[in-house]
Amino acid sequence: MRTTGNTVLITGGATGIGLALAEELVRRDNAVIICGRRRQRLLAAKKQIPELTIRVCDVSRAASRRALVRWITSKFGKLNILVNNAGIQRTVDFRRGSRDLSDADEEVATNLTAPIHLSALLVPHLRRRKHAAIVNISSGLAFTPLAVVPVYCATKAAIHSLSLSLRFQLRDTPVRVFEVAPPIVPTELSGSRHRPEEDEHTLLPSAGHN
C-alpha cells in the first residue's frame, strides 16, 4: 500500500492508536481526517498536530455515519483510505446475567456495525480512486480471546472475518483490504469496568495482545 500522498479518514483518531497513526501519516505527507465523538479530544489532537482535519462523529449511530460520509466525499474528493479504528472494550461477566450487558449494543455498534456500514458507504467512492484501501484495526484477541472482555473479543473475531470477505469481494477493484492487529498498548482503565475512552483501543495488561 502506498504510504504517502494519500487522503485518509481515521475513525476514533483523537486518542490512542488512532492518534499515533494519524501523526505518522501526517509525517509521511498524507492528508489526514480524524473523527470521534468528543469535541474536546479532537481539538486537543488538532492542537498537537495542526495539519489534521477534525470532525465530530459518533460512528455507532447510523445518521452520524451517513452525515460523515456525505461531508467527507463532498469536501475531500481525493479520499482513498478508510481506517476503521474506533473501538470500545468493556468487561462482561455472564454469571451476573444481563447486568453487564447494558452497554453491549453500543460496543457492538462501535466495534463492528460501524466498520461494516462505513466500508459499504465508502466503497463506491473508493473504487473510483486509482489506489485505495480499507484498513481494519483488529486484535490478537480475535484469535485468542480474553474471557473477561468477551463482547470485545467477539467483535474483533468478526472484524477478522469481515476483512477476509471484503478482501475477496474487492479483489478485482483498486481497493485493497488490510487487517492490522497491533501489539499491547498502554491505555486508560477506570473503575470495575474496563472501559477505555470511546475512540481508542486497549486491553487488560495480562492479555499480551491487542
Contact 193/90 with Cβ under 8 angstroms?
yes
pLDDT average, residue stretch 159-175: 98
**Confidence band of 2 (pLDDT split at 50, 70, 90):** confident
Task: Please name the helix (run of DSSP H) or strand (run of DSSP E) that holds residue 35, with its range, or none.
Answer: strand 31-36
Tell me the C-alpha distance between 41 and 157, whole Å.
28
pLDDT at position 201, please?
41
Contact 91/72 with Cβ under 8 angstroms?
no
Q: Give the closest residue to 82 by CA, choosing from 40, 46, 121.
A: 121
Domain boundaries, the chain: 7-180
CA dihedral for 189, 192, 198, 200, sign (positive or negative): positive
pLDDT average, residue stretch 83-94: 96
CATH topology for 7-180 is Rossmann fold (3.40.50)
Tell me the C-alpha distance between 86 and 17, whole Å.
9
pLDDT at position 186, please?
67
12-16, 133-137, 174-178, 197-201: least confidently modelled range: 197-201
**Confidence band of 1 (pLDDT split at 50, 70, 90):** confident
Residues classed as catalytic: 152
In percent, the amount of the chain with pLDDT more than 90 equals 84
Contact 81/133 with Cβ under 8 angstroms?
yes
Contact 34/86 with Cβ under 8 angstroms?
no
**Confidence band of 185 (pLDDT split at 50, 70, 90):** confident
Q: What is the CA radius of gyration of the chain?
A: 16
pLDDT at position 207, please?
33
- In this predicted structure, the answer to whether residue 33 has a pLDDT above a threshold of 50 is yes
Q: At what angle do helices 62-75 and 114-126 cross, to 10 degrees?
A: 20
Contact 58/166 with Cβ under 8 angstroms?
no
- In this predicted structure, the answer to whether residue 25 has a pLDDT above a threshold of 50 is yes
Contact 148/204 with Cβ under 8 angstroms?
yes
- In this predicted structure, the answer to whether residue 180 has a pLDDT above a threshold of 80 is yes
pLDDT at position 208, please?
33
**Confidence band of 182 (pLDDT split at 50, 70, 90):** confident
Look at the block and give the residue holding cell 480475535: 142
Phi, psi of 175 (to 5 degrees): -90, 115
